[in-house]
Amino acid sequence: DGGITQSPKYLFRKEGQNVTLSCEQNLNHDAMYWYRQDPGQGLRLIYYSQIVNDFQKGDIAEGYSVSREKKESFPLTVTSAQKNPTAFYLCASSSPLGQGAYGYTFGSGTRLTVV
Amino acid sequence: KNEVEQSPQNLTAQEEEFITINCSYSVGISALHWLQQHPGGGIVSLFMLSSGKKKHGRLIATINIQEKHSSLHITASHPRDSAVYICAVMPAYFGGRNQFYFGTGTSLTVIP
C-alpha cells in the first residue's frame, strides 16, 4: 500500500547535536511538507517542497534544514541552532501541483526529545 | 490570530454518548480534513471534506462552506475513540504552498 513512512517514531538526542528525521513516500507525490506540533498549539509549517531539488521556508524555518534530492524523500535536519527542538514532527505529501488538498497524505510523526 | 478554532478543547464522555466536535475557520478554503491523533502521536486522516457530509462507520463529518464551519460527530462512543481530534483547513489561495492550517485539537476521553 502507498503511504508515508516517518522514522523513527521516537527519537532522543543530546542538546547541541544535529538530528535528521526521515520521511519517505511511495505515492508519487510531487509536494512534501514538514510540520511541527507543540503542546497547546496547532501544527505549523517548517519547510515545504513542491518539486525535486527545490524547497521553500515555511512559517518557522529557523534552526531547521531540508533537502529534496529524490522525489520520494524529504529529510528534515534539526540543527543545534533550533532553540526549542523538543516537539512532535509531522511529514505530509500531496498530489500533483494544482490539485490542492486532494490526495494530501500525512505521516504518523516523529516525537523528538532533546535532553 | 488563529485561522482555525476548535471547540471544545477538552471533552469527557460516557461510553455510548453522542459526541460533537466543532471547527470554525476564517478563510475561504478548498478543503478541510479531520485528523485523529492517538497518545504516542501518530496521526490518521479520518475525512477530507469540500462540501456536504461524509460518514465512515460511527463517524460523521459535515461542513457548511457558507458559514465556515465543520462538525465531527461520533455516535455510540467507545473508549477506543479516546484521542485528540484535529481540524485542518487548506486556504483556497495561498500563493501555491498548498499548506494546511491546523486547529489546536480537541482532546476526547471516553469513559467506560
From the candidates B43, B51, B89, B104, which should be mutated to test the interface with A, based on the most A CB atoms within 10 A?
B43
Chain B, 49 to 78: residues with Cβ < 8 Å from chain A are: 50
Spatial separation of the C-alpha atoms in residues A92 and B44, rounded to whole Å: 11
Residue indicated by cell numbers 531547521: A64
Q: How confident is the model at residue B103 (pLDDT cuts 50, 70, 90)?
A: very high
Give the cell for residue B65. 462552506
Give the cell for residue B80. 477506543
- For residue range B48-97, what is the model confidence (pLDDT) as tens digits? 888 899 999 999 999 999 999 999 999 999 999 999 999 999 887 655 66
Q: Above pLDDT 70, what percent of chain B?
A: 92
Least CB-CB distance to B99: which of A9, A45, A108?
Answer: A45
Least CB-CB distance to B45: which of A42, A44, A106?
Answer: A106
Q: Which chain A residues touch B44 with a CB distance below 8 Å?
A: 106, 108
Q: Is the CB of residue A14 less than 8 Å from the CB of residue A85?
A: no
pLDDT at A78: 95
pLDDT at B95: 59
Residue type, B83: A
pLDDT at A98: 44
Report, as ranges of residue numbers, the positions in chain A whose pLDDT lies below 50.
Answer: 98-101
Spatial separation of the C-alpha atoms in residues A91 and A105, rounded to whole Å: 9
**Per-residue pLDDT for B40 more than 80?**
no
Decide if A104 touches B, using CB distance below 8 A: yes
Q: Is the CB of residue B103 less than 8 Å from the CB of residue B87?
A: yes
- For residue range A7-21, what is the model confidence (pLDDT) as tens digits? 888 999 998 899 999
Spatial separation of the C-alpha atoms in residues B15 and A113, rounded to whole Å: 34
- For residue range A86-102, what is the model confidence (pLDDT) as tens digits? 999 999 998 765 444 45
